[in-house]
Amino acid sequence: MTTLTLAGDRLRRTVANQQRYVPVLATLAVVALMFAFGYSRNEAFLSGQVYLNVFIDNAFLLVIAVGMTFVLLTGGIDLSVGSVMALSTMLTASLVEQRGWPSPLVVLLVLAVGTLGGLGMGAIIHYFDIQPFIVTLAGMFLARGLAHVISTDTIKVTDPTLTRLGDQRIPLSSELKISISVVIALVVVAVAFWVLHYTRFGRNVYAIGGSEQSAMLMGLPVAKTKIWVYGVSGFCAALGGVLFTLYTLSGYSLNGVGLELEAIAAVVIGGTLLTGGSGFVLGTVLGVMATGVIQTLINFEGNLNSWWTRIAVGVLLLAFILLQRVLSARKT
């Protein structure tokens, strides 16, 4: 009898432990369903290249969403990523094309600018105790305005190194190929996974998201961690900008308007709790895939217009937020 209750207890505890995977599994199911639906409408949908194209077209979004995952895990928010991305495309294009600086140096500089911007916002958020929402909103205005100051026209990129990097395709088999950006994005995901799950910094991120007060009482470096997650997000936004420059081979100050919402939506659909403390970077990959597959589905339908993408993403976002509510309500 006691062994039975013990076993039941253990089972219940295992189920409770697994509960944090439910949103991620739900996302996986949705993505699988969308592929099945796409296949039923058009058999070409299930080809490997369609799948890989989702990654090629969304590599920059994936990188930015990974950065956003860090911020959301601490319970913060970063609205500046879309503008920082635009500023990065403009900086890269103008410095390489109009000033003739060597492209590797420019890329490093752009990444440094993004990271420093993020760190600055993080410092203001932490030391002056201002809501992340409004500080990153100011960052959003500032970065977009600076991008406009550089130029309001499109700057084409003709630099041989950048063009080669952008056009280069890596063959996986005779028919399947991916771009360099996808490789970079996947490396970013892998590094983020390692950082979040196997380093002290990652533990601190989860701890602060769970309860900042407890984290502080435990003696964790709250200030450093909180400032650095915005640094990570700024770095990812800048890297996303570099990838976007490679993807479009141009810089434009109106790139990525509303991208912050897409990134937040992808992270939430990927199962990260908006209140912080729970979520997975691999879920974010699924979230980006879900939004990407919606786009592909709508392109395949042909007679549907692009604004259906926004509506579908909105509905999906609502569904996952409600799912989160149900799950967290059951926990308490």
Partner 1 sequence: MTALTRHRLFWPVAMLAALLLSNLLRGPGFFAIRIQDGHLYGSLIDILANAAPIMIISLGMTLVIATGGIDLSVGSLVAISGALACLHISRQPDQNAMVVVVTAIAIAIGVSVVLGLWNGVLVAGAGIQPIIATLILMVAGRGVAQLITGGQIINVTSTPYKVIGSGFIATLPFAFVLVAAIYALASVIIRRSALGMLVEAVGGNPEASRLVGIRSKTLLIGVYVVSGLCAGVAGLIVSSDVLSADGNNAGLWFELDAILAVVIGGTALTGGRFSLAGTLIGALVIQTLTTTIYSMQVTPQTILVYKAVVVLMVCLLQSPTFRAKVFRRWRGPGGGPPPAPTGAPISPAPQPADRSEVAARTATVSKEQAA
- Residues of the shown chain interacting with partner 1 in the complex, contacts defined by CB under 8 A: 77, 124, 127-131, 133-135, 137-142, 144-146, 148-149, 152, 213-214, 217, 253, 258, 261, 264-265, 268, 274-275, 305, 307-311, 313-315, 317-318, 321-322, 325
CB of 152 to partner 1, least distance (A): 6
- Residue 176 vs 323, nearer CB to partner 1: 323
Residue among 190 and 257 whose Cβ is closer to partner 1: 257
* CB closer to partner 1, 28 vs 268: 268
* Nearest residue (CB) to partner 1, 192 versus 317: 317
Q: Give the integer Cα–Cα distance in Å for 150 and 41.
A: 46
Structure tokens at 239: 């890297």
Cβ proximity to partner 1, 108 vs 315, nearer residue: 315
Q: What is the nearest approach in angstroms of partner 1 to the Cβ of residue 206? A: 19
User: In residues, how long is the chain?
Assistant: 332
The span from the CA of 180 to the CA of 195, in Å, is 23
Residue 147 or 184 with smaller CB distance to partner 1: 147
Min separation Cβ 2 and partner 1, Å:
30
The CB-of-250 to partner 1 minimum distance in angstroms stands at 18
**Least spacing, CB of residue 325 vs partner 1, in Å:** 6
State the minimum distance, in angstroms, from the CB of residue 14 to partner 1.
Answer: 28
Pairing of strands 169-171, 155-156: unpaired
